[in-house]
């Protein structure tokens, strides 16, 4: 892909010869393919979500919990044929879906494989787990390849998005992307406790950013009501590399509870909250190339 403009960074890298801002070239690179039990209950179910963690990231937030992937590009290159096989291996292990974690910058490389796998009877939902820093033209490419969007709305404030991700356009881009996701897959469908299609938007509550989290939650509920699920997350873990002072502390339980109470006061019923202990590091998977 010469002069890549796939994501809003539009860094122009010639991915046949070099890596872009996102850390990716023209090969699929992943760091883990295994069942994961700790997503929202309708995504993990009892058997686990078939998560495939991709290396690199076009947003690259300072506080990223998967820093070794998003900033250090840990992982190994796989062929499209191996990607296809991995999806069927996860299905054979009982995974209730295929969950593509931060695959935004690989869309043109993975979509033909996804379509092929679905035609060949993959038969479980495909989840696109994304930062939502996506251009509409990239989202368009996912037509008929994805059933569920598990999307972040990280910030509503351009200043916060600039401060932590050098992406002041994030709120505008992410809101437009989420609107498109909802148009594409429609209202949630859940069968046997497992989501078959729909959109879940995650709002991670971060220390020092409670007002912004509340603004995101209000925007989502005012705009979409029960047409989406809103997942209020309290699993923030301060990582060693963060530079901003407020990010160096854990999120206090009372701060998280205040945001949850706010969400409840709006009348949200299609929602998820996390129990105490969700910020334990044991929930961050090891990126040891298991299943790759």
Tell which one of 35, 36, 91, 105 touches ligand SF4 (CB under 6 A). 105
CB 166 within 8 A of CB 156: no
Binding mask 228-267 for ligand SF4 (x = CB under 6 A): ----------------------------------------
**Among residues 17, 21, 108, 240, the one that binds ligand SF4 under rule CB under 6 A:** 21
Interface region with ligand SF4, contact rule CB under 6 A, candidates 16-24, 80-88, 169-177, 209-217: 16-24
Give dist(CA 258, CA 263) in Å, integer: 9
- Count of C-beta atoms within a 10 Å radius of residue 110: 23
* Residue nearest ligand SF4, CB atom distance: 20
Of residues 17, 24, 15, the one with CA closest to residue 55? 24
Instruction: Tell me the closest approach of the beta carbon of residue 99 to ligand SF4, in angstroms.
Output: 20
Give all strands (DSSP E) within 70-153, no chain letters.
Answer: 76-78, 98-101, 126-130, 148-152
In whole angstroms, the minimum distance from the beta carbon of 200 to ligand SF4 comes to 24
* Residue 24 beta carbon to ligand SF4: minimum distance, rounded to whole angstroms: 6
Alpha-carbon gap, residue 54 to 48, rounded angstroms: 18
CA distance 291 to 196: 24
Is there binding between residue 22 and ligand SF4 (CB under 6 A)?
A: yes
Q: Which residue has the tokens 């695959």?
A: 103
Report the distance separating Cα 219 and Cα 172, nearest Å: 12
* Minimum CB distance to ligand SF4 smaller for 15 or for 202: 15
Does 24 participate in binding ligand SF4 (rule CB under 6 A)? yes
Residue with structure tokens 């699929």? Answer: 28
* Binding residues among 57-76 for ligand SF4 as defined by CB under 6 A: 58
User: Among residues 75 and 234, whose Cβ is nearest to ligand SF4?
Assistant: 75
d(CA 174, CA 181): 10
13 binding ligand SF4? (CB under 6 A) = yes
Site for ligand SF4, rule CB under 6 A = 4-7, 9-11, 13, 15, 20-22, 24, 58, 105
């Amino acid at each position: 892909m010469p002069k890549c403009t796939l994501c809003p960074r539009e860094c122009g890298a010639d991915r046949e010869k070099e890596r872009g801002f996102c850390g990716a070239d023209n090969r699929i690179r992943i760091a883990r393919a295994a069942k994961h039990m700790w997503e929202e209950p309708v995504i993990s179910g009892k058997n686990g979500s078939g998560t495939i963690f991709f290396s690199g990231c076009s947003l690259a937030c300072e506080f990223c919990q998967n820093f070794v992937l998003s900033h250090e590009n840990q992982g190994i290159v796989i062929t499209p044929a191996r990607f296809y096989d991995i999806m069927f291996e996860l299905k054979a292990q009982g995974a209730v879906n295929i969950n593509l974690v931060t695959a935004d910058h690989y869309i043109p490389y993975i979509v033909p494989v996804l379509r092929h796998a679905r035609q060949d009877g993959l038969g479980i939902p495909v989840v696109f787990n994304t930062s939502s820093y996506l251009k509409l033209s990239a989202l368009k490419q996912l037509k008929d390849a994805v059933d569920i969007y598990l999307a972040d709305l990280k910030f509503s404030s351009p200043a916060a998005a600039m401060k932590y991700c050098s992406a002041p356009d994030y709120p505008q881009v992410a809101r437009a992307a989420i609107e498109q996701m909802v148009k594409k897959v429609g209202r949630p469908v859940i069968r046997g406790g497992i989501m078959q299609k729909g959109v879940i938007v995650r709002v991670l509550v971060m220390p020092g950013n409670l007002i912004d989290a509340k603004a995101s939650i209000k925007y989502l509920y005012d705009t979409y009501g029960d047409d989406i699920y809103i997942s209020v997350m309290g699993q923030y873990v301060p990582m060693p590399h963060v530079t901003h002072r407020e990010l160096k502390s854990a999120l206090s339980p009372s701060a998280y509870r205040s945001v949850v109470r706010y969400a409840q006061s709006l009348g949200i019923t299609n929602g998820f909250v996390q129990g105490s202990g969700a910020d334990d590091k044991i929930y961050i998977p090891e990126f040891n190339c298991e299943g790759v």
